[in-house]
Amino acid sequence: MFPLCLGGNVFGWTIDEQRSFEVLDAYFEAGGNFIDTADIYGRRGPDGVGASERIIGRWIAARGNREKLVIATKVGMSPDIPGLSAVSIEESVDGSLQRLGIDMIDLYYAHQDDPDTPLEETLGAFHALIQGGKISHAGASNYSAERLEQALRIGERDGMAAYVALQPHYNLLERDYESELAGVCERHGLACIPYFGLARGFLTGKYRRDGEQVDSPRAAGVRESYFNERGFAVLDALDGIASAHGTSVAAVSLAWLVAQPTVLAPIASATSPEQLRDLLDSTRLELAPDEIERLSSAAHSLPT
């Protein structure tokens, strides 16, 4: 598995199909094979919601490279087919398969927990998809440690689908994963595949105390969440380490994630091949133990 998962959330949202193909081509040519999307990604252009899956599907068809890829998508957050009931999962998977133009999804996530549906029903539905050859593996995203533990025990006990991966919100500045979820993943052998590994762009270094305004649909939320002494202390530490290695702040941020226990590959998205190059540097960067500790300490050294 390639140690950087390409996020497809920007496809059909902040970049159009042509630019998406350019990013996908650059990632694949660099050896990348792990692409993450969801049934609700993509909001603009003729495809609307679901555009990300459609764009990825058309790219796969054009390049003829399906057998060399690991494709992950998600179910459970669509306003049209909400939740994780057996009916919702069965209907949603067929839509994703059609949009992606493939016969089997390699990793199919529950996009968020559904407390209104029994875990047994959800896991039974995933098991049926595995048995029917529509998905290879099931994963979880946005689960609490308690609910994830329950789901894993039910799957193991009753011979239903067992989650093999967790996609949590985790980066240098968002560390809740470490308190309980990391332990669940370690005990059960789940791969951690973090989303927002770059804190919605803040950990790329493009946001600065007195820098230019960043033109991004996420800019307001980034400023509200990370424009504080703790955030800038982490950027200062990232700047020093990036300079020492002759690489980008984004690469160091992602390399720190890869170095964490249980993490298989962080997810990161790019809007151009040039931006992707900075992210790809993380796959060749190995941080020293003192550098990892310096970054970890910087994130904990000051209040928000």
Q: Which residues contact 154 (CB under 8 A, 6 or more apart)?
A: 119, 120, 123, 160
Buried b (16+ CB within 10 A) or exposed e, 26-57: bbbebebebbbbbbbbbeeeebebbbbbbbbb
Determine the Cα–Cα distance for residues 277 and 27; give it in Å rounded to an integer. Answer: 9
At residue 273, the 3 state secondary structure works out as: helix
Q: What is the DSSP letter of 266?
A: -
Burial 96-120, CB ≥16 within 10 A → b, else e:
bbebbebebbebbbbbbbbeebebe
- Residue 236, both tokens: 């200062």
Catalytic residue check, 41: yes
The torsion of the CA quartet 236, 278, 246, 215, rounded to 10 degrees, works out to: -40
CA dist 220 and 215 (Å) reads 10
Distance CA 34, CA 266 (A): 10
How far lies 108's CA from each of 76, 98, 131, 216, 228, in Å? Answer: 11, 14, 14, 29, 36
Q: Which residue in the block uniquely carries the two structure tokens 């033109």? A: 215
**Which one is catalytic: 41, 109, 177, 195?**
41
- Angle at the Cα of 82 (from 77 to 86), degrees rounded to 5? 115
The residues annotated as belonging to the active site are 41
